[in-house]
Structure 1
């Protein structure tokens, strides 16, 4: 079922396309003023349920039934995932890599070994990171998302090849599943994580194109203990830029999270 567009926002021309059982509106291009427009779209979305999303209309897609997201028992699933992840990774955390472990090469001196990753400081699943409390101070989710869009435009050259989509959804976290953003990510688990980050940290999905997903964060963690638990959640999302491309040493990644308002994930 198609829906009326907000006339007062002067959106560009576009068209509706069916994704699963939902009609999604795609603009023909990314509006020139998208960073300024975004907070207004997001504030409206909290009322009318039309969430903005930057994507490529012609990217391959595979819509995911939201019942599969509803079925995820996040804490239980992440506990099992961490036990398996720790079992596989412990040898790498225990022994720094050497050039002997690298593939043969005519000039191995030109190849630096990956930095040693001591891994997370947990022997067992520590539970979800505690929520950052909602206060009257700080930025709103809409403000944080507008800033994230501006940063994406500044740092990601391919974003100008994307379109703006308006996606009927109960919440921002469900948008990747509804649109069917397909990048090798485990969508039910990822959207369950996004729902939880939305509640705990004021996160909102901004874009999904190619293999990359961008998330804005209104209330990022402020201390390292909280950030370490959140960093483990990021690792268990299976995103390749954190786990394998090359592996970022866990302490380095966790130390970057306090106060960080933009999270970027990608899958090769």
Structure 2
């Protein structure tokens, strides 16, 4: 497959490369370059912005479980305060049904090859994602591609980076595409039951994704994760 015209992004150290124009057949392009990442050291990413800045990923945040426990405690305290001022919030179905932090969701059974699952899932990206450019990012693992490519969103990126690395180990995820403040991951080992799916959904909730906080009831969102091979995040 011929590499489309593109350029290296400015910056120190190994730099990501980005195509000048959106690519045709993004799923095939992504899969072709993904298959050659061992030779090139470059991980593919489908990206919706033509111009963006590159920056190396920071060190992995330690104490992820403690960080999420503190974030959940802060959210619960905030919610308890505001629901006293808005009776409609008291029974909202958008709120996760946990009083205390339940701990990280347990790893799923390793039932598929993560890279094969990624090549299948990339074909299921929604057409609404729009035209996408190809990014080739020098990274040691899929979870580090976003940081290397300089992608940002209105979320705690340090927490998200740590979660991406943890999800990669627990659920065989791979980063597929980032379009604006939307992100898609493939999932090789999704939860098989609603119990662990609820705990995964709580981890998603603590990234601030608007898919739950504004529109989708928590239980409906958690149920969609059971057997689901594609995770979407949106920070509006």
In 1: Cα distance, 2:7 partner to 2:142 partner: 21
2:233 maps to what in 1?
265
Query: Which of 240, 259, 266 is the aligned partner of 2:210?
Result: 240
Contact 1:19/1:180, CA 8 A, preserved across alignment: no
Q: Partner residue of 1:106?
A: none
Aligned residues: 236
Decide whether aligned partners of structure 1 residues 48 and 60 sit closer, same or farther in structure 2, where only a CA change above 3 A counts. Answer: closer
Q: CA deviation at 1:39?
A: 3.0
RMSD value, Cα: 2.7
Number of the residue aligned with 2:72:
82
The 8 Å contact of residues 10 and 53 in structure 2, kept in 1 or not, is answered as: no
1:249 and 2:225 correspond: no
1:52 aligns with one of 44, 48, 59: 44
Distance 1:198 1:47 in 2: 21
Q: Unaligned 5+ residue runs, structure 2?
A: none
TM-score, scaled to structure 1: 0.78
SS of the aligned residue for 2:77 comes to helix
What is the match of residue 107 of structure 1? none
Q: Tell me the SS of whatever aligns to 2:158.
A: helix
Unpaired segments ≥5 residues, structure 1: 1-8, 99-112
> Residue 110 of structure 2: SS of its match in structure 1?
coil
Check whether the contact 2:155–2:235 (CA below 8 A) recurs between aligned residues.
yes
SS of aligned partner of 1:215: strand
Q: Which residue of 2 aligns with 1:5?
A: none
Q: TM-score, normalised by structure 2?
A: 0.87
Rounded to whole Å, the distance in 2 between the matches of 1:242 and 1:144 is 25
